[in-house]
Amino acid sequence: MNNNLEQFETRLRVLFEENLIRLIPGMHAPRKLFDDLLGAMHENARAASENRALAPDLYKIHVPEEDLDDWKAHQDILNEMADFLHKTGKSEGYEFNHHPTLVVLPQETIQSKVFYLDTSISPANQVLPDTAAIPNNERPNIQDEIPGRAFLIVGGNENFLLEKSVIDIGRHSENDLILNEPHVSRHHAQLRAINKRYIIFDVGSTGGLFINGKKISQATLQPGDVIRIGMVNLIFVQDITSENPTTAITIEED
């Protein structure tokens, strides 16, 4: 590890140790999460070719349901951890299909641990042709196009069923999915069902739309994709009807 990365890690460790005690109720060893994430990255990397190794880009932190709100209130710290994982992985020769994302979910069963992790590697992006979102006065509700049993896990603890061919997401009360969070635009994103797949569009938001940590203008969703709108994470769940990977049009940062 080079000197610059070591200094960056030292600064982050100080930040995490100061803040994770507030983040994790009753945690006496806040460095554990930091080290467990690094360990999970190394243990779950896989060979993509003779000279390439892919590291996980989605890290799910499963916590007791009663602690969920405390964790979610510190998403900014988790985002910094994701940045560090990305920088560390790159320095060690790993590649990522997407910028790492950390998402907090409730534990499905009662665990003795404060938290546990699992990871996955998301499909690589492919470019789609540009398609504008559908205005209100032009939207059909074509039931045959809607994927079966699709829903979003909102913030790790609420399911939102996707039962329309066009679904608006934003802070304004006229949206189908209302996200009352200050970093979410009044009209932020739109989901559109095409050939039994959902495509999500940024409809001119201020903060942007992110899929698996990458800023995009539109993307065809794949089960397990993590959508970030403002500070809210949405996980897309759907019966698999196609082997096509997630496709997206990325936005170049200035």
59 pLDDT higher than 70: yes
Asked whether the predicted pLDDT for residue 178 surpasses 90, the reply is yes
| Dihedrals phi, psi of 35, to nearest 5 degrees | -70, -35
Q: Report CA-CA distances (Å) from 104 to 21, 91, 112, 138, 236.
A: 16, 26, 17, 37, 14
pLDDT higher for 169 or 157? 169
Average confidence score pLDDT of the chain: 76
Q: Is the pLDDT of residue 87 over 70?
A: yes
The predicted model gives 203-214 an average pLDDT of 87
pLDDT of residue 34: 77
From residue 253, alpha-carbon distances to 208, 209, 215, 242, 250 in Å are 11, 13, 8, 31, 9
Model confidence band, residue 26 (pLDDT cutoffs 50, 70, 90): low
Q: Would you state the pLDDT for residue 112? A: 57
DSSP output for the chain: --HHHHHHHHHHHHHHHHHHHHHSTT-S-THHHHHHHHHHHHHT-EEEETTEEEPP-EEEEEE-GGGHHHHHTTHHHHHHHHHHHHHHHHHTT-B-SS--EEEEEE-SS--SSS-EEEEE-PPPP-PPPP-PPPPGGG----GGGSPTT-EEEETTTEEEE--SSEEEEESSTTSSEE---TTS-SS-EEEEEETTEEEEEE-S-SS-EEETTEEEEEEE--TT-EEEETTEEEEEE------PPPEEEE----
- What are the residues whose beta carbons fall under 8 Å from the beta carbon of 186, sequence distance 6 or more? 170, 171, 172
Q: If pLDDT is split at 50, 70 and 90, which confidence band does 236 have?
A: very high
Beta-ladder partners of 5: none
Checking if the pLDDT of 1 tops 50, the result is no
> Of the ranges 22-26, 51-55, 190-194, which one carries the lowest mean pLDDT score?
22-26
Q: Output the pTM of the full model.
A: 0.52
Does residue 228 carry a pLDDT above 90?
yes
Condensed to tens digits (0 to 9), the pLDDT of residues 90-127 reads 888 999 887 787 777 778 766 656 778 888 887 665 44
